[in-house]
């Protein structure tokens, strides 16, 4: 009897292992072979709808006001990587009722991710439901299936992000390189011309130029300048970002910064009038770009420094 009981228990244990293995089989929501076909991503979440389109192998944000807004490529790539990586997703339920309770019906899904590849049915229509108390796992299901799985929360970061979070708002994306890596070092800047946006007549103007192993101010050649402060200012300018895009160009240009690089390139920032009096946000246009950026007061103040800011204050 004991031997028979041991055999029965062993069979039950073995069956449980097999069943659990089947429930936890690893798979990817989106077959990696389909990634090259993806040309549109639609993301639905509590902050609204984000639509990304792929043009010339670059993800962009379609806009009625402009041809498109640039997108943070690392975010789009990260989302596709999360969808196409093979991971263990335990099966939790197979019923419409469970889907309703876990926020996985098409009508009440907490999030939804559609990946399209041309006309016809999407390559993937994934519903993202509620999660556990610690937000470590979420419930997931395909929109056209009943099986409900749970898995590591790799997706609510994308579904909960507002459309603006996807924008690449760098003023000089061609200089900073892909993924935000700095492609042009501040050491390549040879001269900076600044027309300060003040209402003085005549307006304040100054320039900084490399010379004698440091920096000189042609308007005041005897001034002792702080090279470390100038180089830090240049780095902050190359890495500067706007708060958002605007649908119209600045009505007037009150300030201008022109950067001259050692390889002959020239880039400029033209700051417009105050956009909203309460928070002093300003519009800014950048050379070689059709886009208009909204600059916060903090960013504006970091870019447009008084010439006295660069003077040495110590011995």
Sequence-distant (≥ 6) Cβ neighbours of residue 222 within 8 angstroms = none
pLDDT at 250: 76
What pTM was computed for the model?
Answer: 0.81
Assigned token pair, 132: 């556990």
pLDDT at 137: 92
DSSP E strands: which ranges in the chain? Answer: 26-27, 40-45, 48-55, 58-62, 68-70, 87-88, 91-94, 111-116, 124-131, 137-142, 147-152, 189-195, 205-211, 214-216, 244-246, 253-261, 266-276, 281-286, 292-295
> Mean pLDDT of residues grouped by 10 in the chain (315 residues)?
63 49 75 96 93 94 82 96 96 88 81 93 94 82 93 94 94 69 76 78 82 90 92 94 86 88 92 70 89 91 92 79
If we measure between CA atoms, which residue out of 138, 135, 152 comes closest to residue 109?
Answer: 138
pLDDT at 196: 76
pLDDT at 261: 94
pLDDT at 17: 42
Strands 48-55, 58-62: pairing kind: antiparallel
- Specify the 3-state DSSP secondary structure of 269: strand
If we measure between CA atoms, which residue out of 41, 48, 165, 204 comes closest to residue 114?
Answer: 41
């Amino acid at each position: 009897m004991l031997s028979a009981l041991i055999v029965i228990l062993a069979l039950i244990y073995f069956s449980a292992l097999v069943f659990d293995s089947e429930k936890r089989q690893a798979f990817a929501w989106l077959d990696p072979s389909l990634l090259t076909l993806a040309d549109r991503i639609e993301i639905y979440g509590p902050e609204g709808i984000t639509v990304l389109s792929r043009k010339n192998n670059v993800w962009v944000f379609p806009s009625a006001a402009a041809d498109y807004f640039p997108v943070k490529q690392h975010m789009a790539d990260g989302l596709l990587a999360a969808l196409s990586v093979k991971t263990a997703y335990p099966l939790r339920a197979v019923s419409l009722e469970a889907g309703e309770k876990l926020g996985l019906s098409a009508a009440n899904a907490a999030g939804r991710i559609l990946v399209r590849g041309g006309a016809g049915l999407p390559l993937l229509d994934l519903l993202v439901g509620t999660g556990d108390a610690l937000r470590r796992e979420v419930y997931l299901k395909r929109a056209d299936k009943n099986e409900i799985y749970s898995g590591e929360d790799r997706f609510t970061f994308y579904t909960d992000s507002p459309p603006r979070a996807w924008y690449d708002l760098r003023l000089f994306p061609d200089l900073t390189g892909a993924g935000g890596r700095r492609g042009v070092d501040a050491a390549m800047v040879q001269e900076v011309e600044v027309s300060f946006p003040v209402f003085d007549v005549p307006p304040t103007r100054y320039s900084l130029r490399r010379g004698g192993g440091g920096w000189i101010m042609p308007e005041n050649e005897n001034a002792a300048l702080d090279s470390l402060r100038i180089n830090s200012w240049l780095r902050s300018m190359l890495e500067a970002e706007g708060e958002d895009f605007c649908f119209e160009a600045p009505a007037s240009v009150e300030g201008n910064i022109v950067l001259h690089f050692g390889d002959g390139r020239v880039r400029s920032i033209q700051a417009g009038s105050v956009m909203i009096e309460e928070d002093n946000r300003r519009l800014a246009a950048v050379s070689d770009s059709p886009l208009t950026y909204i600059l916060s007061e903090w960013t504006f103040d970091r870019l447009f420094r008084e010439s006295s800011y660069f003077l040495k204050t110590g011995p």
